[in-house]
Amino acid sequence: MSADVLGRWVPEHPEGAATVFAKADFPWWIAGGYAIELAVGRELRPHGDLDILILRRDQVLVRDLLAGWDLYVADPPGQGELRPWRPGELLQPPLHDIWCRRAPNTPWSMQLMLDEAEGTQWVSRRTPEIRLPIDRLGRTSETGIPYLAPEVQLFYKAKATREKDETDFEAVLPLLDAPARAWLAKAINVIAPDHPWIRRLLPVSRT
């Protein structure tokens, strides 16, 4: 079924998502452009959706938490097709993108992204050699909202950079310390060795 047929988006704000996930007993992080805004502490641009990153190994827990919601999985990924995420179904790679709305007659409000993990390590679903300790994967806003570390979010944005991604990069770059810049430059080099962001990151990472 086409995503266009399934209705419009009215994304939750991070505060709304935090209310939904208040009782979660698993790690989760605001991702996408909202994660960058939480890092810089100000609004940068409009948003068409709200991404939330979850570890794949916690999918049963998030399915239970969102019991009663209308949940669809992008299958195949990136092809504009959605199907219901059936109760009890364990999503295997490459399935990772879940659309969420409170009821069939309400707009979509959250998009869950499943990422991989091995033990205490986060593993990028795109490139398994890109890793971080899970306890370094996220930050927490001043209001207590967990969000994806900006260097990790920028790594995902680097694959096919759009104007809004350039906006996010420019806004958060001054906040990245030397280790974050070094990690991001190395990660981008794996997927796009000629990416212009690398040159912006390397001078600080070499000091």
**Is residue 191 in some structural domain?**
no
Packed helices 150-157 and 32-40: angle between N→C axes, nearest 10 degrees: 140
CA distance 41 to 203: 25
Q: CA-based Rg of the chain, rounded to a whole angstrom?
A: 17
pLDDT, position 50: 97
What is the DSSP track for 163-180? HHHHHHHHHHGGG--HHH
pLDDT, position 78: 79
Please give the tally of structural domains in the chain: 1
Q: Greater confidence, 47 or 203?
A: 47
55-114 per-position pLDDT tens digit: 999 999 999 999 999 999 999 887 778 999 999 999 999 999 999 999 999 999 999 999
**Is residue 1 in some structural domain?**
no
**Is residue 201 in some structural domain?**
no
CA distance 29 to 32: 10
CA distance 198 to 165: 14
- Rounded to whole angstroms, the maximal C-alpha distance in the chain is 54
- Which helix (H) or strand (E) segment holds residue 59: the answer is helix 59-65
Residue 92's domain is classified under what CATH number? 3.30.460.40
2-59 per-position pLDDT tens digit: 444 567 899 999 999 999 999 999 999 999 999 999 999 999 988 899 999 999 999 9
**Is residue 206 in some structural domain?**
no
**Is residue 110 in some structural domain?**
yes
Burial of 133 (0-12, 13-18, 19+ CB in 10 A): exposed
Domain range enclosing 145: 14-149
pLDDT, position 184: 97
**Is residue 129 in some structural domain?**
yes
CA distance 137 to 106: 32
123-167 per-position pLDDT tens digit: 999 899 999 999 999 999 999 999 999 999 999 999 889 999 999
CB burial readout 185-204, b (16+ within 10 A) else e = bebbeeeeeebebbeebeeb
Q: What is the pTM of this model?
A: 0.91
Q: Greater confidence, 154 or 205?
A: 154
**Is residue 164 in some structural domain?**
no
- The residue assigned the tokens 């992204």 is 113
CB burial readout 14-35, b (16+ within 10 A) else e = beebbebbeebeebbbbbbbbb
**Is residue 158 in some structural domain?**
no
